[in-house]
Amino acid sequence: MINVALLPALHSHLAWWGLRQFTSDEAYFQWQRETLSPAELTTLHRQVEQKRRGSSADEVVFYNATTDPHILPVLYSQRYDYYLAIGLRVAARIGEGRSILDVGCGVGILTTFYARQYPDKTFVGIDRSPASIARAQEYAKVLGLTNVQFECLDLDETPPTCSSDLILATHALVQAEQDPGIPSRCWNTFERAGESQPQADFERRTGIGTRLDRLSALLSAQGRMVVFEKTRQLARRIPLQRALAARDLGLIEQPELIRYRLVEEIADDGPFYLLGRGKSYQLHWDESPEPDEGGPFDRAKLKTSSTDSDAPLYENHWPSAQRVWEQLHEKHLLKEATRQEPDGRQLHVELGQAEEGVYLYCANTLDQRQLVIVELARTVMLEAYYQEIVSGAP
Ligand SMILES: C[S@@+](CC[C@H](N)C(=O)[O-])C[C@H]1O[C@@H](n2cnc3c(N)ncnc32)[C@H](O)[C@@H]1O
C-alpha cells in the first residue's frame, strides 16, 4: 500500500531539499563532479569506506560530513527513489498515530515530509549525528514546521524518553551491513536452529537487541512500528524477525520486499514491516527463502536440446535449486565434499548422475545454491568444475 496521491508533494519536497532524480549514472556522476571538488570527493570516498568497515564513530563522521549544504543534495540524490518508495509507504501508515518517533532520522528529509503532510500530528526525530540533527532543525525552521522536533541522541547509549504510538525505523537499526547473519543448521536446509546463543550473538554484534529493547519500551499498548532494514538475505532476515517477535511485536500486514533504483543500480531491500504489540497480530513470520527466479523444473523442457551447444541442460543459481536437486530421479553420487570455509560457512559440493543427466550441486549454510545438469558426454566439464570448487579456486 502506497499513498500515490502524495507523490507530487514528495517530489516537490525532495526538490526543496535540493535533490534531483537521475536515471543515468553518467548524468549523476557528471553533476557530482561539477558540484564537488576532487578533494571533497576523495574525502567522502574515504569516509564511506571507513563507515563500511569501521566503528560507530566512523559512521558518525560520515553522516556529519553529508550535511554540508553543497554535499547534501548530491549525496542524498542517489537515494531519491528510496525516498519515493519509503516515503509513500510510511505516509500511508501514519493513520491513527498521534505522536510519531523517527529513529535514525538523519538530516530529516523524510521526517520533515511527514510533518508537512500531517500538521495535526507531532513528530520527533532522533539521530546520533550532531550535524545531521543541526541541519534537520535548521531546515524544519525554514519550512515553518512547528509539529516536529529533532534531538541528538545515540540509541545505543541513551534510551529516548518520549512516548510514541508510532515508531519509524527505516535504514536505522541494522547498520552492520557486512554482518552475514546466522548460518543455517546444515548446507542442505534453510532452517536455523532455535538455539538462543547465535541469536544473542547477532543481536549484540549488530546492536539490534539494545535498540529494540529501548524502542519497544517506548511504544504505547496500541502502538505500531514500521521497520525497514537491509535484511533481505535469509541469514539476516530470520534473526531480525526473531528479535522483533521476542519483543512482543507481531505482523499487522504481510511484509513487503521492496525494489528501487539507486540511480542505475537496482536495490532489493527490506522487507518493509508494519508491526503491532501483543498477541492480537497472528500473521505468520515466514522463515523460508523468498520466491526466486529459478522457475519450476520441467523435465520435458530439459530434454529439448538448446540451440547453444555450450549451454547446460539445466542451470539454477537460486535457493529453489535445492528442491530440484532433491527431486532428481535415480540419483547416484559420484563424489562429494563438505568443508568449513574460513568465514564459518559450511560448503558442500557434489557430482552425481541422475536420469536427467550428470549434475553438479553446490550448497552452503548462507543459503546459496547452484545446480547444473549436462549430458553424460560432458561429464568431464563438470568434473573440472568440481575439482576447482574442492580446491578452493574462485
Ligand atoms: C541511512 S541513514 C537513514 C536516515 C533515514 N531514516 C532514512 O530512512 O533516510 C541512518 C541514520 O541512522 C543513524 N543512526 C545509526 N545508529 C544510530 C543510533 N544508535 N542512534 C541514533 N541514530 C543512529 C545514523 O546516524 C544515520 O543518520
Strand partners, 314: 373
**Whole-number average pLDDT of the chain:** 93
| Residue 290 resides in a domain | no
pLDDT confidence tier of residue 307, bands split at 50, 70 and 90: low
Regarding whether 307 and 218 lie in a shared domain, the answer is no
Same domain, 245 and 306: no
Residue/partner pairs of 350-358 with CB below 8 Å, 24 or more apart: 351/382, 351/383, 351/386, 352/328, 353/379, 354/328, 354/329, 354/330, 355/328, 355/329, 355/330, 356/299, 356/302, 356/313, 356/314, 356/328, 356/329, 357/302, 357/313, 357/314, 358/382
Residue whose Cα lies nearest atom 19 of ligand 1: it is 155
Same domain for 199 and 149: yes
**What's the gap in Å between 373 CA and the centre of ligand 1?**
46
How confident is the model at residue 309, as a pLDDT? 67
Residues 386, 272 share a domain: no
Pair 260, 363 in one domain: no
Whether 304 and 273 share a structural domain: no
pLDDT of res. 393 = 61
What share of the chain has pLDDT > 90, as a percent? 80
Backbone phi, then psi, for 369, in 5-degree steps?
Answer: -135, 150
Ligand 1 pocket member 75 (CB < 6 A) = no
The verdict on 207 and 133 lying in the same domain is yes
The reported pLDDT for the residue numbered 71 is 95
Domain containing residue 195: CATH number: 3.40.50.150
How far is the centre of ligand 1, averaged over its atoms, from the C-alpha of 142 (Å)? 22
CA of 171 to the centre of ligand 1 (A): 7
Q: Specify the ligand 1 atom closest to the Cα of 168.
A: 6
Query: Do 239 and 341 have their domain in common?
Result: no
Report the pLDDT averaged over residues 315-327.
94
Give the pLDDT band (50/70/90) at residue 50.
confident
Mutate to test the pocket of ligand 1, among 63, 67, 272 (most ligand atoms within 8 A of CB): 63
- Residues 161, 224, single domain; the answer is yes
For residues 123 and 64, membership in a common domain is answered with yes
Task: Tell me which residue has its CA closest to atom 27 in ligand 1.
Answer: 106
> What are the tens digits of pLDDT across the range 127-173?
999 999 999 999 999 999 999 999 999 999 999 998 899 999 999 99
Residue 311 lies in a domain: yes
- Of 209, 363, 233, the closest CA to residue 287 belongs to 233
- CB of 106 shorter than 6 A to ligand 1: yes
More confident residue, 376 or 309: 376
How many domains are there within the chain? 2
Same domain, 69 and 216: yes
Domain region containing 313: 299-390
Instruction: List, for residues 189-221, the tens digit of each pLDDT value.
Output: 999 988 899 999 999 999 999 999 999 999 988
The predicted model gives 299-307 an average pLDDT of: 59
The pLDDT score that the predictor gives to residue 95 is 84
Examine residue 321 and state whether it is found in any structural domain, yes or no.
yes
Is any atom of ligand 1 closer than 6 Å to the C-beta of 101?
no
Q: Compute the average pLDDT of residues 16-43.
A: 95
pLDDT value for 148: 98
Model confidence at 2, pLDDT cuts 50, 70, 90, reads confident
Q: What's the rounded Cα separation, in Å, for the pair 166 and 250? A: 14
Phi, psi of 270, rounded to the nearest 5 degrees: 100, -150
